[in-house]
Structure 1
Amino acid sequence: MYKVLFVDLNQHSREKIPYTLDWNRAGFALEGYADTSAAALSLCGKDHFSLVAINMNEAQAEGIELCGRIRCQSFVPIILIGGVSDFQLARKAMYYQVSDYLPDPLSADDLTASLLTLKHKLDSALQADHHAHALSSSENDSSAQTNVIDKVKEYVEEALHQNITLKEISNILHFNCSYLGQKFKCHVNMTFNEYLLQQRMEKAKSLLQHTDMKVYEIANVVGYSEMDWFYKKFKSYTGVSANEYRKMISITA
């Protein structure tokens, strides 16, 4: 069961869907409640939550600001609930890597579907963590070091759609981040960030060539929520835009 911190910035909405939904059936449990941004940040710092759900309704600007403040200290998944559908707010939500943005009118089915999608992602990440933990071993043994590097690569492959940092992987494997970074570069002949970029771009190239997925869908699959950033990285890596690359592939096929 994944722990949820529910933040209600619209304090007159205690009878709305978020409180009547059976969160447990979706694999989540309401373990914390806050009615101000300050209280939410305090709880995030004290306890480990798997999800922060923010009911912003008439406090959308405050809700978006809270997302930014949470991102300064954590990459915990965030779902925004309530308020009007607004393109600029949606862009800011994407910038802060919000998992979902559910404006009014909100239905229980919409929220349940969003939670089930997030649960699938959390389950996948948890499975990857377990695999990595199982193969953490002596850093003094050369073969063990190679095995650890392989697990770093496996983790990257399984969590490519998520925000990935070497620091998080180092914590999972119980290694010093700088030490693991040096060992990774020694074994792979490139830095971790260079390797991560390579894997994302090669995956994007493969999807452009072998699927009919839209470019923004491919960007999400390889871990980019900001389209401009994905376009910039892809063009820098291949020399052409994603759309140009797909056209070139179709011509040569």
Structure 2
Amino acid sequence: MYRILCVERNRQVREIASYMAGSRLKNFIIHAHADYSSDILRLIRSEGISLVLLNIRDAHTPGMRVCEQIRQGSSVPIILLGGSGDFGLARQALLYNVSDYLTDPVNPAELGGSLEAVRRVLASAGRPAAAERDYADQDYAEFSLQKEPPSPCPIVSTIKQYVDEQLHHNITLKRISDSLNFNCAYLGQKFKQQEKMSFNEYLLRQRMEKAKLLLETTDMKIYEIADAVGYSEIDWFYKKFREYTGTSANEYRKQCFITA
């Protein structure tokens, strides 16, 4: 079995374990609990811990400090639970090379998918589970981990969030990769692998879909819409919009009014 260390802010609170209450996860067992003041590195080494579930709900800053402390002496996989949608926090988590970053409220199915992804990494690194799972007690509810799709790559989710928040600015994958201290080519590969399209294709789609929405629902001028979706040159916006929709922005708006 792969051993899980659950780290909570408060030793008396067992929120992480509650996500899996009544479940016995294939290849994983909750081996130990700790709080933020524990000697976590010693526990990881002495107890043969394969995965740390770190609950940062309502404790984002101290939780990140714990993550940093772990990384000072161990590369053990870490799954962060209870995070926020804050881009800066997600970026900080990525710098600590966490395996996944699950925002609050944590969905048990998403957690199951994250565990399965970690299991595959551990197995590929030559660290098989120590023993087969005991099937004697079938009364417990179970996560069907192998049936769950792999959880989304956290860095791709961070890139998409950045695009949503900065759509009106000049966005490039190079600029994002520099801000995250990641290799641009690596980010491009990870993004295409998950989204089945390149970053530039995704960015164009997001801009054009927002432009369509603004044309349909507002009386903004075309140049205002172009600026709102990141185009400082109106001619370039016109060109990309026609390529994307097959019609001009003005004609698209007229069609919306006719069909309304």
Tell which has more relative contact order, 1 or 2 (C-alpha 8 A, sep 6+).
2
TM-score normalised by the chain length of structure 2? 0.47
TM-score normalised by the chain length of structure 1? 0.48
Q: Which structure dedicates a bigger proportion of its chain to helix?
A: 1
